[in-house]
Amino acid sequence: MYKLKKSALPLYIQLYTQIKEDIINNILKANTKLPSIRKMSSDYKISKTTVESAYSQLYAEGYIESHPQSGYYVSKDVIQNFTTFPIKNSNQQIEKMYKYDFYQAKHSEDVFPKKLWSKLHSKAISSINFGSYPNKQGDLSLRKELSSYLSKSRAVICDEEQIVICSGFSDSMFIISNILKEFCSSIAIEYPGYKVVQEVFSLQNYKITNIPILRNGIDLKALKQTKSKLIYVTPSHQYPTGKTIPISKRIDLINWACDNDAYIIEDDYDSELSYNNRPIPSLQGINDNQRVIYSGTFSKALSPAIRVSYIVLPKKLISMYKKIFYFSFSGVPIDIQKSLELFIKEGYWDKHIRKMRTLNKKKHDLMKKAIKEYLEDSVEIIREGSGLTILIKSKININWEKLHLLLEEKSIKVYSTTYDSNLNDNTIYLGFGGFKEDEISIAVKSFATVWFQSIKNTN
């Protein structure tokens, strides 16, 4: 039995990975027939597209074979005696509901335009041809709207043929890692940086090289000393430190890619939610160098529940994408794609972004004020001004184990930067997106009470 659950990894990647591990560990032996797509879909209550995507990836990598009129079988040529990178499962326990949850990528439920979305969804349903398969790369009309929006708002240079619709950030990284693994075997990643990137690329057996983050962004000297032909960066708002790569270093980074026949993955994860300055134009749009793979998502500004992300591929990688994912369809349901297309086309997306900036700017300022009022000089704010979180660093000794236990007792959840990054210097995320405005001060005050109690117990 395979364990499929809600997590950062899409269902088809979870299924693909677990079947792959069973093959590698000789649990599924050569010539074993896999359950049919219909049966797997029925048994695990997942879509046929999810199963097809998992099987297609296993087929593309040579783990299984397709026998016409019969089904899929474990390849007799597969090597059984090697190991794979284990997926870290952070959801072993049933998810607990907290009174105050400071999760950094969450919205309060009231901000999503439910009535409008329902209206657009009904309109979208009537336009769908249910007698044919959807576009494998994602709905063409949606990709056209995205191309126009990205050009206007993020200065991204692309057309709709370069855009691939994905089902969340980790799915985006999974697709990129598969496209490039014949081109390169290692990836340079910002340090500290987003753990999900390291996890996804490690699953594809990439060698990971950490590149330090300096005061003005990534350490280019350290990058140039590596032999990597691929780097992942968050140039407009580095994760988790919040630093911005200045234009001079951006140009140097692009020149490095051009000189070394390398690629840059630009993660523009929260570009729409900038409160103190205008959003910084994308690295991809500096010039039409075809060396930057641009990654974006609708999770931060619209909703993490709809699971829609996208990548913009350089033109020379489109044919490779189509070859590798020939049997795969976008993991985003077509009704969601069509609804989103109408949401953008009819002008609601631009209005929604303006609304979210205004709303979250208020929440951001309320939390910043509450941190200064209730946590006083015990912490330093080291990242603020965009996104859905403020990053604080303790100025004093904290008994972190005691703090965690006390917070659990009071039903309060905060997140150390070790939760989803490799930054380990007494820093904590305080996310404000999931709270209503009138809840923020109370939530921070409650956290501060426990915070100072843990200090007292330490001393």
Helices (H), 282-395: 315-324, 334-345, 348-370
CATH architecture under which domain 100-105+356-453 falls: Alpha-Beta Complex (3.90)
- Whether 67 shows a pLDDT value over 90: the answer reads no
pLDDT given at position 5: 79
- Predicted confidence at residue 178, as pLDDT, reads 95
Q: For residue range 190-224, what is the model confidence (pLDDT) as tens digits?
A: 988 888 899 899 989 999 999 998 888 889 999 99
pLDDT at residue 413 above 70? Answer: yes
Cα distances from 374 to residues 149, 394, 439, 447, 449, in angstroms, run 41, 14, 14, 9, 8
Residue type, 15: L
Q: Domain extents for the chain?
A: 11-74, 100-105+356-453, 135-329
Q: What is the pLDDT of residue 292?
A: 97
More confident: 71 or 215: 71
Q: What percent of the chain has pLDDT over 90?
A: 51
Answer whether residue 279 shows pLDDT above 90: no
Residue-averaged pLDDT of the chain: 87
Mean pLDDT value of segment 144-150: 97
For the cut 50, the answer to whether the pLDDT of residue 231 exceeds it is yes
pLDDT at position 363 = 94
Quickly state the pLDDT bin for 92 (edges 50, 70, 90): very low
437 pLDDT band, cuts 50/70/90, is: very high
* Residue 149, token pair as written in the block: 């929006």
Which single residue is written with the structure tokens 């049919």?
36
| Whether 252 contacts 220, CB under 8 Å | yes
Q: Which of the residue ranges 56-60, 140-144, 151-155, 400-404 has the most confident prediction, judged by mean pLDDT?
A: 140-144
Out of 3.30.300.30, 3.40.50.2020, 3.30.70.260, 3.40.640.10, select the CATH number for domain 135-329.
3.40.640.10
Q: Give the model's pLDDT for residue 89.
A: 41
Average pLDDT over residues 394-401: 80
Beta carbons within 10 angstroms of residue 20's beta carbon:
20
Domain covering 11-74, topology: Arc Repressor Mutant, subunit A (1.10.10)
